[in-house]
Structure 1
Amino acid sequence: MANPQQPQSALRTFFVSGMGTALEFYDFVIYGVAAALVFPQVFFPDLDRLTATLVAFAAFGAGFFARPLGGMVFGHLGDKAGRQKALVITLLLMGFSTLAIGCLPSHASIGVAAPILLVLLRLVQGFAAGGEWGGAALFGIESAPPGKRGLWGSFTSMGIGIGGILGSAVFAIVSTAYDDNLADFAWRIPFWLGGVLVLIGLYARLANPATKPLQPRESTRLPLVAALRSRPRQMLLCTGIAFGYVTIAYIGSTFFLAYATQVGYGSTEALLFDVSLSIAIVISAPMFAALSDRIGRRRVMILGSVLMAAGFFVFFALVGRHSLAVACAAYVVVGALMGATQGPIPAFLAEQFPRHMRYSGMSAAYQIGAAFGGGTASSLATAILISTGSPYGVAAYGAAALALVALCSYLLKETAHLSMEALDAEVGVEGSVGMARSV
């Protein structure tokens, strides 16, 4: 007999895990949109447009290199003191840095200090984002009913897509309403709004009962050290998956947005494309995550990687036709294929670690990969486009990243059909091998 409380529990879990992440990644996404559309004029006015875009993306990427530290710090806090405390702090930090970016003077006002302050605030954003993803994903995964860890873990993936929709939609509205002075003043509005919206996520997380931290006898002194000692292979492979996936995720968001404007689409049209891509991710991520609950994480991840690699080449051919409808369809297809990997990733990575080191292990692995993948993706893609003059070099770059995702997924063990108790029993508190092994 079905549990009548399960739908309400699922909704509450989605609101804390998915919507909290949506509000946080709204802040993250609007920076990427601004870096593509207005930051070259506001903070780097002395450079030509394409070079200024490259530098703006480099400043965007700087935040990624604070993410591993955030993952380690908040992973340790989450493993030792409970998930809720870590999630509340990450949200507050993101809200503060977003409001502060919206209040920054331009290069015309304070000179070189403006881009320096911009990079410093990006580092704060990256530090907060480094702790957010793992904690929000674990809130869903560790609350999931049997056989639904993939689906409930994808609430975070859906939240990232929803954040993309909100960020792109707000920028589209602002750019339409204030087209003449977007770079002068109006770009600040989404940042101010993001700081206010964070309060909603904060309320949801404080109102939810806190998870009970591990007792001292169940815990380890340094969960990350325990993960590195007992799971080095899993740490390396999870890092590889994160590197490959986050590379194509940020090619698909920030670079695709800039590319659309470079080939002749208007900024509002480019934002429409970005919204279409995000909507497709929100729909496809839970579908593929649920499929991974049935047929296994590895199969879905590998299939999604292969389809996405082929989709990159088709995407550039369609966008190059300069048809709004065709280009929009291309973005939708790419977003749907991105969901094939984004959906199962939270559960797949979390299941590689037992509970007492799970937040630390998965966050460190994911954020290290994200730093090197996402932190360089937009800049490298732009540099490839500049040097080759062809978008198909970027497609090859994305295909190589997806090949890494497929390879690392293949080398990790299948965990979809193991119970959480079996996963937690595989490695003892001190790192000794237990009796429960997957067959």
Structure 2
Amino acid sequence: MTPSVTGKPRQAAVAAWVGSALEYYDFFIYGTAAALVFNKVFFPDSDPATGTLLAVATFGVGYAARPVGAFILGHIGDRFGRKRVLVLTLILMGVATFLVGCLPTYDQVGVLAPVLLVVLRLLQGLSAAGEQAGANSMTLEHAPPNRRAYYTSFTLSGTQAGQIIATAAFLPVAALPEDDLLSWGWRIPFWASAVVVVAGYLIRRKLDETPVFEKTTVAQMPVVELFRDNWRDVVRVICAAVIASVSTIFTVYALSFAVNTVELERTPMLWVGVLANVVALATLPLWATVADRIGRKPVFIAGSLGSAVLMFAYLGAIAAGNYPLIFIVGIVLFGVVYSAANAIWPSFYGEMFIARVRLSGMAIGTQIGFAIGGFSPTIAAAVDGEDGTSWVPVAILTAVLCLVSAVAVATGRETYRVPTEQLGLPANDPRTTTTATT
């Protein structure tokens, strides 16, 4: 009996979903706050456009820290186990996020305030670097071979749920009078992250290590082995992972563009994100089920190219101030089309690597790609013109990154029929002789 059959896929999927929801609640409330209030709380001496650019840049700093965290947490996960990484990441994220809510403002301590903000954002990025790779590795290695995409998609469903909760947490806060919002209201969602530390520890300390990891000869230096034998796949994952720019442009840049430039109401724009993520909760497992039947590549590529096209329509609808069109296009873009790619990558990236280096390969590859995606709102804010109204270059930027992602996936190996114990082996390896059960 293969290790993939003897695991506990449901328990692993539930733990991945809950943990990712808690973890990414923390990560995304920062993005919402960066778009709505940080330009006034931490950068008040700048003109409005520069303050927005600086605030959005601090969001990208978290992504800059991710590659560093990927090397560290990838080594821990491949050397000492998936479970240890998953507990560590939740605690680190929860503490860092709670402390953001305790920071003094620029008016109180001057330049020290944004400096401390950046430091805590770096800690958030270090934590996020290991979260998804750890949860995906855990779930993939517990899953039956013919349902790996389905079970690993629960990590991304948890991420979407975290984004829903984060955005929903800001709905009542954003409705506060401006003075209350800027003085104490924005802190409440960050303080609520204290729940993350307690809930995360209680959930993940009960996880069993994966059967695949327990039966694997542990690599002493997983990162060295990874770049010696699998560097091409690491590069492929990096290029594919820039699809994350769709998420950051949608979540951060488009929100800032709508509220600060077009001067649309905050509350409706927050509701676009909530509803799109609710739809994504339903479409993610559906797309993953399709990928378990027809393959990873066609589903991922369709989602990537579709997102490139729809970003033009979404930003155009915002520029026109057309609320019905904003809701329709935003939900279709983020909730349906982007979810096609988002549902597939947790299985597809992990299936490129053998178990000895899987967590390192996923973490390093995705986090470098995500770092590019994380700075996309900063780049977008720099190319949208002096008055911030030139949205077409932003849509072109997003489309180019989507195309890079699609090409990277198209040139990869299809893995949906490969047995779990043979994942990451070269096609000509004598051990790759059987086909996964379907």
User: 1:254 Cα shift?
Assistant: 0.9
1:5-46 Cα deviation digits (max 9, x unpaired): 99x955533321011011111111000000000000100000
How far is 1:130 from its partner? Answer: 0.5
Question: What pairs up with 1:77-96 in 2 under 5 angstroms?
Answer: 77-96=76-95
AA aligned to 2:62 is G
Once residues 371 and 377 of structure 2 are traced to their aligned partners in structure 1, the CA distance between those partners, rounded to angstroms, is 12
Q: Deviations over 1:202-246 (max 9, x none)?
A: 21101223446856981221111111111121111111011x212
3-state secondary structure, aligned to 1:415: coil
Inter-partner Cα distance in structure 1 for 2:187 and 2:377: 22
What residue number does 2:246 align with?
Answer: 248
Match of 2:291 in 1: 292
8 Å CA contact 2:295, 2:415 repeated in 1:
yes
**Residue of structure 2 in register with 1:168 after alignment:** 167
Aligned to 2:322: 323
Stretch deviating more after TM superposition (267-276 or 101-110)? 267-276
Question: Matched residues in 1 for 2:16 and 2:324: separation?
Answer: 34
Which residue of the partner structure matches residue 414 of structure 2? 414
SS at match of 1:417: coil
Q: Which residue of 2 is the match for residue 354 of structure 1?
A: 354
Code of the aligned partner of 2:368: I
The answer as to 2:30 corresponding to 1:31 is yes
In 2, distance between residues paired with 1:89 and 1:316? 38
Q: Is the 8 A contact 1:240 1:405 kept in 2?
A: yes
Change (3 A) 1:41 1:210: same
Going from structure 1 to structure 2, the CA distance change for 1:416 and 1:323 (only over 3 Å counts) comes to same
- 1:99 and 2:98 correspond: yes
Checking the alignment, whether the CA contact within 8 Å between 2:87 and 2:205 is kept in structure 1 is yes
The one-letter code matched in structure 1 to 2:357 is M
1:54 maps onto 2:53 in alignment: yes
Partner of 1:144: 143
1:8-407 equivalence runs, <5 A: 11-177=10-176, 180-211=179-210, 214=213, 218-242=217-241, 244-261=242-259, 262-335=261-334, 336-374=336-374, 376-387=375-386, 389-407=389-407
Distance (Å, rounded) in 1 between the aligned partners of 2:346 and 2:250 = 19
1:436 aligns with 2:432: yes
Shift of 1:141: 1.2
Aligned AA for 2:69?
A: G
Deviation at 1:424, TM superposition (A): 5.6
Shift in CA distance, 364/148, structure 1 to aligned 2, threshold 3 Å: same
- Residues 341-392 of structure 1 show CA distances to partners (whole Å, capped at 9, x for unaligned) of 1100010100000111100111111111112332x11101111213573211
CA contact (8 A) 1:42 1:183 kept: yes
User: In structure 2, how many angstroms separate the alpha carbons of the residues matched to 1:12 and 1:305?
Assistant: 30
Q: Is the CA contact 1:286–1:343 (under 8 Å) kept in the aligned structure 2?
A: yes
Matched residues in 2 for 1:137 and 1:214: separation? 13
Tell me, yes or no, if the aligned pair for 1:425 and 1:434 is still in contact at 8 Å: no
Secondary structure of the 1:187 match is helix
Query: How far apart in 2 are the matches of 1:372 and 1:434?
Result: 38
**Cα distance per residue 1:63-92 (max 9 Å; x no partner):** 111111111111111111111111101100
Residue 426 of structure 1, CA deviation: 4.4
3-state SS in 2 of match to 1:56? helix
State the distance in 2 between where 1:434 and 1:22 align. Answer: 41
Q: In structure 2, do the counterparts of structure 1 residues 356 and 110 end up closer, same or farther at CA, with 3 Å as the change threshold?
A: same
TM-score computed with the length of structure 2 as normaliser: 0.92
1:209 and 1:234 map into 2 onto residues whose CA distance is 28
Q: 1:92-139 CA distances to partner (integer Å, 9 max, x unpaired)?
A: 000110111000000010000000000000110000100111001112
- Name stretches of at least 5 consecutive residues in structure 2 with no aligned partner: none
Q: Contact between 1:79 and 1:213, CA under 8 Å: does it hold in 2?
A: no
Deviation at 1:435, TM superposition (A): 3.8
**How many angstroms apart in 2 are the aligned matches of 1:392 and 1:317?**
8
The answer to whether the Cα contact below 8 Å between 2:216 and 2:355 also exists between their aligned partners in 1 is no
The 8 Å contact of residues 178 and 186 in structure 1, kept in 2 or not, is answered as: no
Partners of 1:54 and 1:383 within 8 A in 2: yes
Paired positions, count: 428
Q: Distance in 2 between matches of 1:83 and 1:321?
A: 47
C-alpha separation in 2, matches of 1:312 and 1:422: 38
Which ranges of structure 1 fall in alignment gaps of 5 or more residues?
none
Matches of 2:101 and 2:148, distance apart in 1 = 38
Secondary structure in 2 matching 1:329: helix
TM-score by length of 1: 0.92
Q: Is the alpha carbon distance of 1:438 and 1:248 closer, same or farther for their aligned partners in structure 2, counting shifts above 3 Å? A: farther
